[in-house]
Chains A and B, each alone.
Chain A
C-alpha cells in the first residue's frame, strides 16, 4: 500500500487534518502533481507490485487534470481509491461515475452536520448519490462526544456502500491539529460499540483505520464488535505517503520525521523497511505507559497505537551533572 498525493490544495479546513504539518508550508509550485511525475508514481506502484492507485491530497479531485490521472491509472490496471471530502468539481465526479464499482473506491470523508454546515452536507449527499456503491463514508473522531448516527442516515439517503470507515484523529508531530488523547480512548471505544450496534441494525458495517488499540475495549465489547463483522487491524505501519515533490513520508502525522527520496530503484518494501529502521527505537514504547511491557504489544497482537502519539510522549532533557573524579 502507498498513497499518492496529487494535490497540496484543499477546499476544506478540518480541525483534525493530518496534513497540518505537511501542507502548511508555502510552496514554489502550483500545488498539483505534474502528469509526468504521476507516470513515475505509477511506475513505482508497478515495480512494488501494488495494484491500487490511492489518490489523496489536500483534496485530490481539485487536480485540474484529475480525470486524466484516473484514466492513466486505469490504463495500468490499477484499482482507483480516492480519499476525498466529496466537494469535487463536476469533471472529477463525472470521471469517477464512468468507472465500475469494482474499479474504484471513493472514500468520502464527512464531518458532523453541525460542524460542516448544511450546504456542505448537501453537496456531499449529491456526490454520494451519484457515486452510489462506489462510495464509502469515512469519519474521523476528534473529540470524545462524537455523534456518528447521521452517517447511517446518509447511507440510507444516498445509497452509498453500507459501511463506515472510522478513524481516530492522531496528532501531527507539531501537535498543531485537533486530536484524540490516549486517556480518551476508552470512552470513545464505548461510543463506537454503540454505533456499530446501530449500524448492524441497518445492515451496515464499521471499518477501522489505523491506530486503534486493544485496551480501548473490554473483552466483551471486542467480542461484540467481532460478531458485528468489525475487522480491526491494530496496526500502525509506514503507509508511505508520496508527496507531489517526490518525497516519501511515513504517513502524514509523521511528516516531520523527514522524507526519503523516491528514486527509480526504490520500491515500497524497501522504503517501508527504511522507515521501520528509522523508528524502531520509538517503537519499543506505545501510547500508554503500560504499552512497552504489555504482552499484547510484545507478541505483536497490538501495535501500541499510533506512532505519532507515541513519539509525542518522548522528551529530551538537557541535564548536566558535575562529578568529582580521582585523577591519575
Chain B
C-alpha cells in the first residue's frame, strides 16, 4: 500500500545559485549547506515548482535514468534534506 507525503521548503531557508553550487542557508540557525551536482539540479527544479511527475520526467532525462531510478534519487534527496531541516514534511495523504 502506498501513501502520499508532501514536503515543502522550510520557511526559514533561503538559497542562492552560485557558479559551482547552490548555497542553502537556514536563516534561524545560520547553518548552511552547499548543494552540488545532482542535489543542485534537484533543488533548482523543485524551486521552479514542477509537480512530482514532471520532476521525475526531467530528472530522468537530465541524469539519463529510468523513471523509477529518477524517482528514487529524488526521494533520497528530499528525505535527506528533511533530516537536515532544509525541507519539512507537511501533510500525510491516504
Contacts and interface: CB of A to CB of B under 8 A. Distances in A.
A281 B15 contact: no
Interface in B66-89: 71, 74-75, 78
A325 B4 contact: yes
Contacts of B21: 292-293
A316 B19 contact: no
B23 A319 contact: no
A28 interface: no
Interface residue tally on B, bucketed by range: 35 or more
Given A317-B47, A323-B74, A281 B26 contact: yes
B14 interface: yes
B30 A292 contact: no
Interface in A297-328: 313-327
Contacts of B20: 292-293
A319 B47 CA distance: 6
B2 A326 contact: yes
Contact of A277 (B6, B18, B30, B52): B30
B58 interface: no
Among B6, B14, B17, B48, which residue has the most Cβ atoms of chain A within 10 A? B14
Given A315-B15, A322-B52, A323-B75, A285 B8 contact: no
A119 B25 CA distance: 49
B4 A322 contact: yes
Nearest to B46: A319
SS class, residues of chain A in contact with chain B: mixed
Contacts of B4: 322-325
Contact of B7 (A291, A317, A323): A323
A78 to B, nearest CB: 34
Contact of B32 (A281, A290, A316): A281
A289 interface: yes
A281 B2 contact: no
Contacts of B5: 322-325
B8 A318 contact: yes
B30 A278 contact: yes
A284 interface: yes
B23 A284 contact: yes
B13 interface: yes
Contacts of B30: 277-282
A316 B11 contact: yes
A291 B52 CA distance: 33
A291 B29 CA distance: 22
Given A281-B30, A327-B3, A314 B14 contact: yes
Contacts of A327: 1-3
Interface of B: 1-9, 11, 13-21, 23, 25-27, 29-32, 34, 46-49, 51-52, 55, 71, 74-75, 78, 90, 93
30 contacts: A281-B27, A281-B29, A281-B31, A281-B32, A282-B30, A284-B32, A284-B34, A285-B23, A289-B18, A290-B18, A292-B18, A292-B20, A314-B14, A316-B9, A316-B13, A316-B14, A317-B47, A317-B49, A319-B8, A319-B46, A320-B6, A321-B46, A321-B55, A323-B5, A323-B6, A323-B7, A323-B78, A324-B3, A325-B4, A327-B2
Given A316-B11, A317-B49, 8 more contacts: A281-B26, A281-B27, A292-B21, A292-B23, A317-B46, A318-B8, A319-B9, A321-B8
